[in-house]
């Protein structure tokens, strides 16, 4: 669905009713198809959203469409870095203040900070069961996924020439780019620590650090791969897909590791800090077929609800083999940052 058509559709729909018939039967099976926005109730009253910086304009388009569709909703938005907003929510709670009703974070680690502080309200089952298996949580819900990938230069390599695990990649003779100061890379290293342990992760980082080239961000990594500065890189999937959408003949494609942190599926997500109907129903809007399709086609993020196609150029998640990691456990970056500094990566 194109950007304009989604906004118009969401904003101009008529009166909405209750959740669709059949929810009870689907709930019994622990899976519910994504709901159309046409089936949701109208939003009314005051709602304050803390919005982590992410796909700025695209997220804003969704919020503006929700506002236009719901003229009786007074939606106030505070924007800022995701980690800073998570810390602000915890600090406000300690001071006896609740300013935010919902928190939309661009990574699950920030959700973990809020959840571990006991500030997240449990969500209704029929809401969380719209999510794919493995992404159903009681007190928060992922919105879209971002997959760790290995972008590679297609003039130098084929996908079959790239090792499908991190250990063999470190032992290869490929030139590699990474962005160790980037939050997504640090979440990846945190996942590796959880899966492999600190000792193995430190050894891998030390070996890799001898032969990698560092960049300020993962867009820089992807562009360096396409230019041929390095053979392969570490980056979230959407940087490559966005580059290829603007430059279809780009010398770049995606490879994937199997069942290790190199193919981690992290997620943006949302948590309800207030258990009222407006907060819960606002979250429902972000999980609709229309919103999920829009974020897939325009932001190239991975829809995590049932029945919505992934962005063009990316396989279905269930055809890959991402590791089994509780995403909220990515919240504590302190041991990761210490380890990365100790081995000289930061």
Per-residue pLDDT of the chain (346 residues; tens, 9 = 90+): 444 444 454 544 433 333 333 333 333 346 677 888 899 999 999 999 999 875 556 888 899 999 999 999 999 999 988 888 999 999 999 999 989 999 999 888 888 889 989 999 999 998 998 998 888 999 999 999 999 999 999 999 999 999 999 999 999 999 999 999 988 899 999 999 999 999 999 999 999 999 899 999 999 999 999 999 999 999 999 999 999 999 999 999 999 999 999 999 999 899 999 989 999 999 999 999 999 999 999 889 999 998 888 898 888 777 888 898 888 888 888 899 999 999 999 9
Phi, psi of 165 (to 5 degrees): -150, 155
Cα 68–Cα 70–Cα 71 angle in degrees, nearest 5: 75
Residue 180: its H or E element: none
Structural domain spans, the chain: 3-145+266-316, 147-264+330-342
239 is in an annotated binding site: yes
Is it true that 3-145+266-316 and 147-264+330-342 share their CATH fold? yes
Q: Is the dihedral angle over the CA atoms 55, 61, 64, 70 positive or is it negative?
A: negative
Write down how long the chain is.
346
Fold of 3-145+266-316: D-Maltodextrin-Binding Protein; domain 2 (3.40.190)
| Cα-based torsion angle of the residue sequence 166, 169, 171, 176 in order, rounded to the nearest 10 degrees | -120
- Cα 277 to Cα 37, 41, 112, 271, distances in angstroms: 16, 10, 23, 14
Rounded distance between C-alpha atoms, residue 222 and residue 246, angstroms: 14
Specify whether domain 147-264+330-342 bears CATH 3.40.50.720: no
Query: Which own/partner pairs from 164-172 qualify as long-range (CB within 8 Å, at least 24 positions apart)?
Result: 164/255, 164/256, 164/257, 164/258, 165/257, 165/258, 165/260, 165/262, 166/192, 166/204, 166/257, 166/260, 166/261, 166/262, 167/204, 169/232, 169/257, 169/262, 170/204, 170/207, 170/208, 171/207
Phi, psi of 154 (to 5 degrees): -75, -15
300 is in an annotated binding site: no
């Amino acid at each position: 669905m194109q950007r304009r058509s989604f906004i118009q559709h969401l904003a101009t729909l008529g009166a909405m009713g209750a959740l669709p018939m059949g929810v009870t039967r689907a709930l019994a099976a622990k899976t519910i198809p994504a709901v159309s926005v046409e089936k949701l109730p109208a939003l009314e009253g005051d709602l304050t959203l803390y919005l982590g910086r992410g796909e700025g304009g695209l997220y804003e388009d969704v919020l503006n469409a929700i506002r236009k569709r719901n003229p009786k909703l007074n939606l106030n938005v505070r924007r800022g870095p995701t980690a800073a907003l998570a810390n602000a929510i915890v600090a406000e709670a300690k001071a006896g203040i609740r300013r935010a009703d919902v928190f939309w974070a661009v990574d699950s680690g920030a959700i973990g900070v809020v959840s571990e502080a006991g500030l997240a309200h449990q969500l209704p089952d029929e809401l969380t069961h719209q999510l794919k298996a493995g992404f159903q949580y009681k007190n928060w819900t992922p919105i879209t996924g971002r997959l760790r990938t290995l972008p590679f230069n297609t003039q130098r390599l084929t996908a079959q020439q790239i090792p499908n695990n991190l250990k063999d990649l470190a032992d290869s003779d490929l030139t590699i780019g990474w962005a160790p100061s980037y939050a997504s890379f640090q979440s990846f290293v945190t996942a590796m620590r959880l899966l492999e342990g600190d000792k193995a992760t430190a050894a891998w980082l030390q070996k890799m650090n001898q032969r990698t080239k560092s960049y300020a961000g993962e867009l820089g990594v992807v562009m360096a791969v396409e230019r041929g500065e390095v053979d392969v890189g570490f980056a979230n999937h959407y940087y490559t897909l966005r580059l290829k959408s603007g430059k279809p003949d780009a010398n770049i494609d995606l490879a994937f590791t199997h069942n290790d942190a190199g193919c981690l599926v992290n997620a943006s997500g949302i948590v309800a800090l207030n258990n009222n109907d407006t907060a819960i129903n606002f979250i429902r809007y972000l999980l609709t077929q229309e919103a999920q399709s829009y974020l897939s086609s325009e932001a190239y993020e991975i829809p995590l609800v049932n029945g919505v196609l992934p962005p063009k150029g990316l396989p279905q998640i269930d055809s890959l083999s991402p590791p089994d990691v509780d995403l909220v456990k990515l919240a504590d970056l302190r041991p990761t940052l210490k380890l990365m500094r100790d081995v000289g990566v930061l």
